[in-house]
């Protein structure tokens, strides 16, 4: 039997590579209610946006992934597109560990804020980003950003834009 600490150590965080694209597609499919993207989109997340993404592996399996990017108009902000943690990687603080991994990277040296969008009922994501904000000693603000009827044609719940910051990397 392994302890939680040894499981956490066994999970390796790394920069994604394009060979992770299809594995990411499969991971998202195994993590409902996450919105699936096309395989091509996942390939781009693992290649064009790799430096602001994190792949988490355990025993050769992809058990976690964060996709994100730095919006060209906001070089001080990293936008977190999607957070996925397979049930094999849950209960170990993996999602927050991956968030901290991203902001610690050289590509994020000028980043002082993080943004993401979350539906109102996604309690796990709200808890994750509130906890991250606390750990970073940063304020969290939010407002409705993509509206159900206007932006999703009534086919998806409204998404709230969360903004965390400013923060420093010394935390």
Quick check: is 80 in a domain? yes
Quick check: is 6 in a domain? no
- The pTM score is 0.89
- Do 41 and 35 meet the contact criterion of CB atoms below 8 Å apart? no
Quick check: is 149 in a domain? yes
Spatial separation of the C-alpha atoms in residues 25 and 69, rounded to whole Å = 18
pLDDT of residue 12: 96
Quick check: is 53 in a domain? yes
Mean pLDDT, the chain, rounded, equals 91
The model's confidence at residue 169, banded by pLDDT at 50, 70 and 90, is confident
Quick check: is 4 in a domain? no
The model's confidence at residue 118, banded by pLDDT at 50, 70 and 90, is very high
- For residue 85, pLDDT over 70 is answered with yes
Quick check: is 7 in a domain? no
Neighbours of 54 (CB within 10 A): 24
pLDDT of residue 158: 85
Output DSSP code: residue 11.
Answer: P
CATH number at residue 74: 3.40.630.30
Residue 146 structural domain? 12-165
pLDDT of residue 135: 96
Quick check: is 119 in a domain? yes
Quick check: is 94 in a domain? yes
Residues belonging to the chain: 171
Spatial separation of the C-alpha atoms in residues 51 and 68, rounded to whole Å = 9
pLDDT of residue 170: 60
- Do 159 and 146 meet the contact criterion of CB atoms below 8 Å apart? yes
pLDDT of residue 11: 95
Report how many domains make up the chain.
1
């Amino acid at each position: 039997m392994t302890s939680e600490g040894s499981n956490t150590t066994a999970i390796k965080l790394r920069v994604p590579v394009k060979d992770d694209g299809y594995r990411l597609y499969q991971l998202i499919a195994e993590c409902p209610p996450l919105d699936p993207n096309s395989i091509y989109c996942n390939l781009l997340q693992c290649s064009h946006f790799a430096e602001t993404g994190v792949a988490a592996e355990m025993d050769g399996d992809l058990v976690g992934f964060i996709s994100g990017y730095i919006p060209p108009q906001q070089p001080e902000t990293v936008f977190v597109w999607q957070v996925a943690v397979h049930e094999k990687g849950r209960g170990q603080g993996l999602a927050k560990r991956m968030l901290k991994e991203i902001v610690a990277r050289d590509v994020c040296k000028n980043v002082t804020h993080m943004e993401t969008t979350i539906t109102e009922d996604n309690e796990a994501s709200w808890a994750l980003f509130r906890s991250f904000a606390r750990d970073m000693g940063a304020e969290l603000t939010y407002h409705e950003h993509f509206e159900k009827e206007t932006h999703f044609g009534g086919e998806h719940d409204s998404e709230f834009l969360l903004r965390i910051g400013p923060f420093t990397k010394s935390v």
